[in-house]
Structure 1
Amino acid sequence: MTAYEDFVSQYGVFKKIDAFGYLDYLKNNPDAPRKRGKVVLVTADTPLKASRGEGKTTTTIALIDALRKRGIDAAAVLRQPSMGITAAGSKGGASGGGKASLTHPELVDWGLCGEMGSIEAAQNLLVSFAEKAVDEGRLDTILVPRVSEVPSRSLRQIAVDRGKGDVPERVVLTPTCELMQIVVLSRSMEELGQRVAAMIAGTKDGEPVTFGEFIDLWRITNILATAVMPAYTETREGSPVYVHCGPFANVSIGIPSLVSVELACARHDVVVVEAGYGTDAGAQKWLDIAAREYGAQWPSAAVVVTRATTWNDDPTLSWRYPFHVNRLESLGIATFPLINLWEGEDDQVPAFKSKAAELGFRTPVLGNLFRDGGDALTPQLDDFVAALDAAGIPAAPESHKGTPLVDTVRWIAKSAYGVPAERVVERDTFAPSLAAATELCNKAGIDINQLAVVAVKSPATMTDNDSAPEAERSVTLKKVEVHAGAGLVHVNLTTSLTTPMPKIV
């Protein structure tokens, strides 16, 4: 077998790849055959409703099918969907659709790539250890929530009777939890173990206590042995796809694991990476967390997807799509608008092309990808391929670590949402929450300003009121939560739930 095949094992209908082991092999064997693929980021317009998608996964699948028909070695890296919120695929899932679909979409939608269940079990075991630590007097409070793949409104906030007073706990969806973030960001089992050890379990007499202080970490890392391995599958057209981790870019980081992308880049010339929700969510987090702070590759090109109805239906929100395209272009990323047509919308193509030209966009790409798949894109990609050929692999951008947290949030608001610093306001809950988070970090020996900022926001809005005139749009800061093991600090900007309920369809 080749070295790569030594790191591949069968997992049901999928293959699982020991990405940690394979990437370490390449690092220690610089003469081993490998590629250095360029990253293309597929992101989207901000959806009109949180429960519906713009078609990023369908586009990603159609795009790699089209590129491969043009003789380009392209692969995709997708996020593992959350079974609970997609209702096991009933809303369309997150594995494409129609002709632009995976070979086993139902298994991807149902979480059978494996990492969701393992991460859920591992984080819940951590909380069980924390509960036992309360019983033994090692902890007074528990700061890490339990997780569930299937949401329950009754479990959003609970209190457990210990016989010596209630201990507040909560439950969040698996994709939003700190352990998911740790798996997404870690590049080795050693790093993963160190990050789990650094998770703050709770406090004792006001002092933070980490899990590394009272549990044997092998209990957790053993559970995650297969969860850290990306799954390999294919499109219906036979194009390679890697699936691993990371949905929910509004309340978490919403990106696939860094090692799954690095693995794909070592195997293919072009790697199309899907980031969650809109450009203000998943793309912002790929660029400003994964790339700036964790060394992921800066995109050589990007595709911003919108549904015709999202761009056209509400005139007060039509500013958002051009804002997203122009923002990525301003960062030096060749950015192509893609209009994801539905049945009955083919006659709108001339109007969309005219509108794109009026806005100064690059050559737009349009098509009913559900119906036509990659065949719709193949003849439209000349400019895209030319831009990708002209682009090198960009240098790593400047880190924002060390900048005061509030200044970083203001920078995110201006760059990603178009709201200047003077219109970033603080709710009365924000200052006490920031002070408490800063004190917790100080006691744990952590500089809060060295943590990467995760903007926690509504998936369907960029500001407090996107329909307001530009000069009146604002962003409100609400609370702060530390994920020390992941190296992240969450800042809530708008109303968001970490246990949203699925849409009934």
Structure 2
Amino acid sequence: MTTFNDFVTPYGLVSKVDAFGYLDYLKAHPNESTKQGKVVLVTADTPLKASRGEGKTTTTIALIDALRSRGVDAAAVLRQPSMGITAAGSKGGASGGGKASLAHPELVDWGLCGEMAAIENAQNLLVSFAEKAVDEGLLDDILVPRVSEVPSRSLRQIAVDRGKSDLPERVVLTPTCELMQIVVLSRSMDEIGQRVAAMTAGTKAGKPVTFGSFIDLWRITNMLADAVKPAYMTTQEGSPVYVHCGPFANVSLGIPSLISVEMACARHDVVVVEAGYGADAGAQKWLDIAAREFGAAWPSAAVVVTRASTWRDDPALRWRYPFHINRLEGLGIPTFPLVNLWAGEDSEVDALRETAASLGLRQPVMGNLFRDGGQGLSSQLDGFAAALDTAASDSPALADAVSSHKGMDVVDQLRWIAQSAYGVAGERVLEGPAFAESLASARALCQEQGLNVNDLVPVAVKSPATMTDNDAAPESDRTVTLKKLEVHTGAGLIQANVTTSLTTPMPKIV
């Protein structure tokens, strides 16, 4: 008899799961006993500083440990971190901390699950093919960037010496590249192949040229054989955890692969999914991209994590935390505030509870999860468990939220994101000096390939520490500036740089 373990293979100290194969097997054997796990989305307050986390991974791990101690079959799906900004775990990586951490955190923090390196190599090989295509007269320029796991400002814009002329290129971080987005969104190797074929390599005489027109795609898809398989790990308490795909929801998707979450839902009753940075980033992308446009599961509940200092220290920014919670509640998602206490903050619990009550929030869950792990949460989860048991799957709010926006004018889609996710009315969404030209170029590139730019799904690119051009401004004065667009024809996405702030920070020195 075929079991899940038949799709699991050793990979160093962890395992890899053939999620594509497992779900294909379940589809071919509909009488197999499977579960329909409920998704819980763990997101966070917008951090005060781009290089500082609020504790989503620590919370996610503590939460599944706590649920399992209550007899709930819970698992987590985390993202593979990038060594670029987390600096090999110095910021916390994506492995949790203290008692709420993975059994082998170093394997995640140092990228030893393998997918980052494989995706980096595969996209760089695509660029090498594009460079050869320039030499052979098939391309005039290259639009797809090289990628690197380690950031360097000097590489963001480069020129390759070709003797008679320089060839402009650029380098982006691996989690932000189009190939990572393709792996996140695809549900089969065939789909990955089709999407890679549709990636725009560059242009010839002003006309876009896709990779599928001049290379054998098996060279790329074969390199991804292990990268498409989620890592299968455990917490220190033995709770199951799946780790797949990349971070940085401020400049890309920043969510786990759809296939990893679907696989976990087939095996567990509750699946806790971590989304990148704040609710304006990872949660926005899970809801508005993964769920609304790509059929991912809608959350049955959400947890919004904050550090006590983030909620308390800057009066001009305190509006962001209740905004996030109320936005998710308005979508019909029971949303629970969670305050991730640090050493010396236990005495603040009563005051924080009073603040939450004054804001009309649900009773917050609080604890020093680094110190106490799941034990610090298990006694506080009665309301959370009750909300999961009564989660509605057919509410009017849900029907509206998952209604596709494809075909809506792309600028109107961006205005909708600004209003719904950042609290900025459409009339206060501004266009920067280069936006109109960027939009015209995007429309022309899509038209040449028989695509409608309005059918691409917008991915907001912004600083992780801001929601608007100036979050400290009064509500009536907050704006969002649209700066430029970049088409990802293979992924079916259109990147939109928004707000006047910088996007990706460099790693902090530790």
TM-score, length-scaled by structure 2: 0.98
Change (3 A) 1:497 1:232: farther
CA contact (8 A) 1:172 1:498 kept: no
Alpha-carbon deviations, 1:181-233, whole Å to 9, x = none? 00000000000000000000000000000000000000000000000000000
Partner residue in 1 for 2:13: 13
CA contact (8 A) 2:317 2:471 kept: yes
Cα separation, 1, equivalents of 2:72 and 2:221 = 38
Partner residue in 1 for 2:288: 288
CA contact (8 A) 1:151 1:500 kept: no
Partner residue in 2 for 1:65: 65
Cα separation, 2, equivalents of 1:336 and 1:130 = 48
Cα separation, 1, equivalents of 2:222 and 2:502 = 30
Change (3 A) 1:337 1:343: same
Q: What residue ranges of structure 1 are gaps of 5+ in the alignment?
A: none
CA contact (8 A) 1:178 1:486 kept: yes
Q: In structure 1, the residue corresponding to 2:266 is in which secondary structure?
A: helix
Offset at residue 497 of structure 1 (A): 5.9
Cα separation, 1, equivalents of 2:54 and 2:117 = 27
Alpha-carbon deviations, 1:40-92, whole Å to 9, x = none? 00000000001010000000000000000000000000000001211111122
Partner residue in 2 for 1:115: 115
Cα separation, 1, equivalents of 2:431 and 2:420 = 19
CA contact (8 A) 2:463 2:504 kept: no
* Pairing 1:377–2:377 present: yes
Partner residue in 1 for 2:463: 458
Partner residue in 1 for 2:450: 445
Question: Equivalent residues in 2 for 1:215-294 (5 A)?
Answer: 215-294=215-294
CA contact (8 A) 1:251 1:497 kept: no
Partner residue in 2 for 1:398: 403
Offset at residue 167 of structure 1 (A): 1.4
Q: CA RMSD for the aligned pairs?
A: 1.1
Offset at residue 498 of structure 1 (A): 6.7
Amino acid corresponding to residue 96 of structure 2 in structure 1: G
Offset at residue 354 of structure 1 (A): 1.0
% identity of equivalent residues: 78
Q: Give the one of 478, 482, 489 matched to 1:477.
A: 482
Partner residue in 1 for 2:424: 419
Amino acid corresponding to residue 489 of structure 1 in structure 2: I
Amino acid corresponding to residue 161 of structure 1 in structure 2: D
* Pairing 1:189–2:194 present: no
Q: What residue ranges of structure 2 are gaps of 5+ in the alignment?
A: none
CA contact (8 A) 1:77 1:272 kept: yes
TM-score, length-scaled by structure 1: 0.99
Cα separation, 2, equivalents of 1:270 and 1:108 = 23
Cα separation, 2, equivalents of 1:443 and 1:93 = 42
Q: In structure 2, the residue corresponding to 1:446 is in which secondary structure?
A: coil
Offset at residue 495 of structure 1 (A): 4.8
Partner residue in 1 for 2:351: 351
Partner residue in 2 for 1:124: 124
Offset at residue 348 of structure 1 (A): 0.6
Cα separation, 1, equivalents of 2:146 and 2:505 = 15
CA contact (8 A) 1:173 1:499 kept: no
Cα separation, 2, equivalents of 1:101 and 1:107 = 12
CA contact (8 A) 1:176 1:498 kept: no
Cα separation, 2, equivalents of 1:426 and 1:84 = 31
* Pairing 1:151–2:151 present: yes
CA contact (8 A) 1:134 1:140 kept: yes
State how many pairs are aligned. 505
Cα separation, 2, equivalents of 1:305 and 1:451 = 31
Change (3 A) 1:451 1:173: same
Change (3 A) 1:133 1:495: farther
Cα separation, 2, equivalents of 1:129 and 1:500 = 30
